[in-house]
A and B are shown apart, each in its own frame.
Chain A
Amino acid sequence: MNSPIPAAGNGHRPVLTVAALSKAFSSLCVLENINLQVHRGETICLLGPSGSGKSTLLRCINWLEKPDSGQVYLNGERIGVTTGGVLMGDREMSAIRTRIGMVFQHFALWPHLTVLQNIMAAPVYVQRRPKAQARAEAESLLASVGLSEKRDAFPAKLSGGQKQRVGIARALAMRPELLLFDEPTSALDPELVGEVLVVIRRLAHDGMTMVVVTHEMDFAREAANRIVFLDRGRVVETARPDTFFVAPATERARQFLQRYENSSARPARRDRPQSFA
């Protein structure tokens, strides 16, 4: 069951390997035979129309959704299934999930905890790191996303952009090997998108390994090492952004990009926002 992961072309094992993954909700096939490898320091942007399975793929990677078939490996370790071939128990699942950070579309901050407590919760209660150390790290992460002054605020009192930056800090606090972003900016007002993208861009620049589901084409073009284009649950095209955005290989991707170009005739937008940190 737990076959060794093939070494990548550059001789390094991929951080994330998704092999022949399929998922259906009752009779609706959402993902079909997905294969994907992400290497250390890579930023992969998952693009595709609504309902193409991008978010479900992300949720299958950390087993928030259990795949129907196929395998997911994190640095060579199978997720969800033990070496004995049985489903992982709570403890094993927890251990592997703490190695994958996730940023949610609607932030998913814990409303009863302050900003600082949100960031410290998993390091302290799940990873059992010393509280003082977790606090110091949380404070420095908060500073790095420009929100030190909000440390004692509750999530309800933050703007969407601030909530998402806390969401990113919370994910980073676990020192993850891989970061998953599920449409991190699509719930934000347009003028707040930039402040979040700046943080994600910086992470990409710093060499964090990331899989980003996004509809931000400019961001994908600039920050992604590879674009993976999904349609109706299948990977239709995988390409470098300069190839994908200039000369997509498939008709489906061409149509998709065309539609975006048409709709981006909307008013010019933000990016490169106010400075912080």
Chain B
Amino acid sequence: MRDFLVVWSERALLLKGLGNTIVLSLAATIAALVLGALGALVLMTTKSAYRLPFAGFVDAMRCVPFLLFAYIVYYGLPSLGLNLDNWSAGLAALTIYNTAYMAEILRGAWVAQPADPIDAGYAFGFTGLGHFRRIVLPPLLLSAAPVVGNQIIQIVKDSAFLTVIALPELTHAASSIQSRHYIPFAAFITAVLLYWTLCLVIEAGVAAIGRVAEARR
């Protein structure tokens, strides 16, 4: 119990880490969703010159462990002349990695959509991105919400790996507290509870979207 009191005394550090985890996850989620939606459009195009390279990228991301990918972005890119600070590298790694997943999730949901309303969009004069944004994407997001929610939880958890590039997020903060006070159990369990809380918030959000979708089903 005393250990937890020590953690409490370090709450400012922990909350800063939590705040950074939230900022990082939120930014990566929004960017990955926007880019993933465009990626789904690329995966669904009949033009193989666009589709095949992007499908290759999606496949590569799904086969690379995130930790390794973060290493490549932070430590590997400088050897190609691209130096990113730890925040930029962390955010870029999370976003690029999850763009691939989001694109594949939305592509899967798109394939399962009935064709008629999409055709009706064209018949009524919608075209290109306007057709995608107004006609295709909204029902796609509603039907894919539970899977997208899972992926957002994955983003939150993957952000913990960014402690290896010294990004001051929640795991990094917990790690600092434990090494400063030698209280690994209390520090890490507290971090786990905070991650759990974040995931409960995401699940509540998904449930709310589920209710919106249910009204339209």
Residue from B117, B119, B130, B138 within 8 A of A109 (CB atoms): B117
Given A108-B117, A110-B135, are A97 and B215 also a contact pair (CB < 8 Å)? no
Our count of residue pairs bridging A and B at CB distance below 8 angstroms stands at: 70
Say whether A121 faces chain B, with CB atoms less than 8 Å apart. Answer: yes
CA distance A170 to B128 in the complex (A): 21
Q: Does A95 contact B (CB under 8 A)?
A: yes
| Closest residue of B by beta carbon distance from A95 | B125
> Given A110-B139, A112-B142, A121-B134: A98 and B116 within 8 A (CB)?
no
Q: Are A126 and B117 in contact (CB under 8 A)?
A: no
Q: In the bound complex, do residue B139 and residue A121 qualify as a contact, i.e. CB atoms below 8 Å apart?
A: no
Cβ contact within 8 Å between A102 and B120: yes
Mask for A101-116, Cβ within 8 A of B = 1, else 0? 0101011111110000
Partner of A156, one of B119, B120, B125, B216: B216
A219 adjacent to chain B (CB < 8 Å): no
Determine whether the beta carbon of B126 is less than 8 Å from that of A104.
Answer: no
Shortest C-beta distance, A117 to chain B (Å), equals 10
Q: Which of B69-120 contact A (CB under 8 A)?
A: 114, 116-117, 119-120
Asked if A206 lies at the interface with its beta carbon under 8 angstroms from chain B, I say no
A93: interface (CB < 8 Å): yes
Binding site for A on B (CB under 8 A): 114, 116-117, 119-128, 130, 134-135, 138-139, 142, 215-217
By size class, the interface of chain A is 20 to 34
Q: List 14 A-B contacts (CB under 8 A).
A: A100-B123, A104-B116, A106-B114, A106-B116, A107-B116, A108-B116, A110-B135, A112-B139, A126-B125, A154-B215, A155-B216, A157-B215, A170-B124, A174-B125
Instruction: List the B side residues contacting A106 at CB < 8 Å.
Output: 114, 116
A125-B119 in contact given A111-B217, A154-B215 (Cβ < 8 Å): no
Cβ contacts under 8 Å, A170 to chain B: 124
Q: Does A43 contact B (CB under 8 A)?
A: no
Contact between B123 and A102, CB atoms less than 8 A apart: yes
Complex contact B126–A125 (CB within 8 A): yes
> In the complex the two chains form, is A64's CB within 8 Å of B122's CB?
yes
Those 3 A-B pairs whose CB atoms lie nearest each other, nearest first: A108-B116, A108-B120, A90-B127
With both chains docked as a complex, state the minimum distance between the C-beta of A16 and any C-beta of chain B, in angstroms: 15
Question: Distance (Å) between the CB of A173 and the closest chain B CB?
Answer: 9
Alpha-carbon distance A155/B120, docked complex (angstroms): 14
Tell me, rounded to whole Å, the shortest Cβ–Cβ distance linking B90 to chain A: 34
Contact of B119 among A95, A98, A108 (CB under 8 A): A108
- Given known pairs A104-B116, A108-B117, A110-B117, the reply for A64 and B216 (CB within 8 Å) is no
Q: Report whether B216 and A111 are in contact in the complex, using a CB–CB cutoff of 8 Å.
A: yes
Within the complex, what minimum Cβ distance (angstroms) separates B206 from chain A?
17
